[in-house]
Protein backbone atom coordinates (compact mmCIF):
# COMPACT_ATOMS: atom_id res chain seq x y z
CA UNK A 1 0.00 0.00 0.00
CA UNK A 2 1.41 3.41 -0.88
CA UNK A 3 1.09 6.70 0.90
CA UNK A 4 -1.33 9.27 -0.41
CA UNK A 5 -0.29 12.80 0.44
CA UNK A 6 -2.75 15.65 -0.16
CA UNK A 7 -1.57 19.20 -0.72
CA UNK A 8 -1.22 20.97 2.61
CA UNK A 9 -0.90 24.72 2.81
CA UNK A 10 0.63 26.75 5.61
CA UNK A 11 0.01 30.44 6.11
CA UNK A 12 3.56 31.13 7.19
CA UNK A 13 6.28 28.81 6.00
CA UNK A 14 7.10 28.37 3.18
CA UNK A 15 5.46 31.33 1.43
CA UNK A 16 2.95 30.02 -1.07
CA UNK A 17 1.30 31.77 -4.02
CA UNK A 18 -2.16 30.20 -3.74
CA UNK A 19 -3.80 32.17 -6.59
CA UNK A 20 -1.05 31.10 -9.01
CA UNK A 21 -1.18 27.49 -7.76
CA UNK A 22 -4.96 27.21 -8.20
CA UNK A 23 -4.56 28.15 -11.86
CA UNK A 24 -2.67 24.87 -12.34
CA UNK A 25 -5.32 22.70 -10.64
CA UNK A 26 -8.08 21.35 -12.83
CA UNK A 27 -11.30 20.26 -11.18
CA UNK A 28 -14.31 19.12 -13.12
CA UNK A 29 -17.39 18.76 -10.89
CA UNK A 30 -19.27 16.76 -13.54
CA UNK A 31 -16.50 14.16 -13.75
CA UNK A 32 -16.34 13.92 -9.96
CA UNK A 33 -20.12 13.47 -9.70
CA UNK A 34 -20.19 10.84 -12.45
CA UNK A 35 -17.34 8.93 -10.79
CA UNK A 36 -19.21 8.74 -7.46
CA UNK A 37 -22.40 7.74 -9.29
CA UNK A 38 -20.56 4.94 -11.15
CA UNK A 39 -19.23 3.54 -7.86
CA UNK A 40 -22.80 2.96 -6.70
CA UNK A 41 -22.86 0.92 -3.48
CA UNK A 42 -19.15 0.08 -3.68
CA UNK A 43 -18.13 -0.38 -0.04
CA UNK A 44 -14.76 -1.45 1.35
CA UNK A 45 -15.66 -0.89 5.01
CA UNK A 46 -15.26 -4.53 6.08
CA UNK A 47 -11.93 -4.92 4.27
CA UNK A 48 -10.58 -1.64 5.67
CA UNK A 49 -11.64 -2.61 9.20
CA UNK A 50 -9.67 -5.86 8.95
CA UNK A 51 -6.36 -4.28 7.89
CA UNK A 52 -3.66 -4.66 10.54
CA UNK A 53 -0.72 -2.38 9.81
CA UNK A 54 0.75 0.88 11.07
CA UNK A 55 -1.08 3.89 9.69
CA UNK A 56 -0.42 7.63 9.92
CA UNK A 57 -3.43 9.92 9.74
CA UNK A 58 -2.67 13.63 9.60
CA UNK A 59 -5.27 16.35 9.35
CA UNK A 60 -4.91 20.12 9.28
CA UNK A 61 -6.26 22.37 12.00
CA UNK A 62 -7.96 24.43 9.27
CA UNK A 63 -8.94 21.45 7.11
CA UNK A 64 -12.27 22.17 5.38
CA UNK A 65 -13.25 18.52 5.89
CA UNK A 66 -12.91 18.98 9.63
CA UNK A 67 -11.95 16.79 12.54
CA UNK A 68 -15.08 14.68 12.06
CA UNK A 69 -13.77 13.23 8.77
CA UNK A 70 -10.40 12.47 10.33
CA UNK A 71 -12.13 10.72 13.25
CA UNK A 72 -14.33 8.74 10.86
CA UNK A 73 -11.27 7.62 8.90
CA UNK A 74 -9.51 6.56 12.11
CA UNK A 75 -12.60 4.59 13.21
CA UNK A 76 -12.81 2.83 9.83
CA UNK A 77 -9.31 1.34 10.30
CA UNK A 78 -10.35 -0.30 13.57
CA UNK A 79 -7.70 -3.07 13.47
CA UNK A 80 -4.75 -0.86 12.48
CA UNK A 81 -2.16 0.70 14.77
CA UNK A 82 -2.72 4.41 14.18
CA UNK A 83 -0.59 7.51 14.69
CA UNK A 84 -3.22 10.29 14.60
CA UNK A 85 -1.99 13.89 14.47
CA UNK A 86 -3.37 17.36 13.91
CA UNK A 87 -1.07 19.77 12.07
CA UNK A 88 -1.54 23.33 13.41
CA UNK A 89 -2.36 26.27 11.12
CA UNK A 90 -2.74 24.02 8.06
CA UNK A 91 -5.61 23.10 5.75
CA UNK A 92 -6.12 20.82 2.76
CA UNK A 93 -6.51 22.30 -0.68
CA UNK A 94 -9.64 20.54 -1.93
CA UNK A 95 -10.18 20.59 -5.67
The whole-angstrom separation of Cα 95 and Cα 78 is 28
Averaged confidence pLDDT in the chain: 75
Task: Kindly state the percentage of the chain with pLDDT values over 70.
Answer: 67
* Cβ proximity of 73 and 65 under 8 Å: no
pLDDT at 35 over 60: yes
Instruction: Give how many domains the chain has, as a whole number.
Output: 1
| pTM for the whole structure | 0.56
The whole-angstrom separation of Cα 73 and Cα 70 is 5
21 within some domain:
no
51 within some domain:
yes
Q: What is the pLDDT of residues 39-84, one digit of tens each?
A: 788 788 899 899 998 998 888 888 777 788 889 889 999 999 999 9
46 within some domain:
yes
Amino acid sequence: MSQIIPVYLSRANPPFDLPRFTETVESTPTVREETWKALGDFDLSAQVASLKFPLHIFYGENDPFGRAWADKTRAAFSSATIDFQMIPIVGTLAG
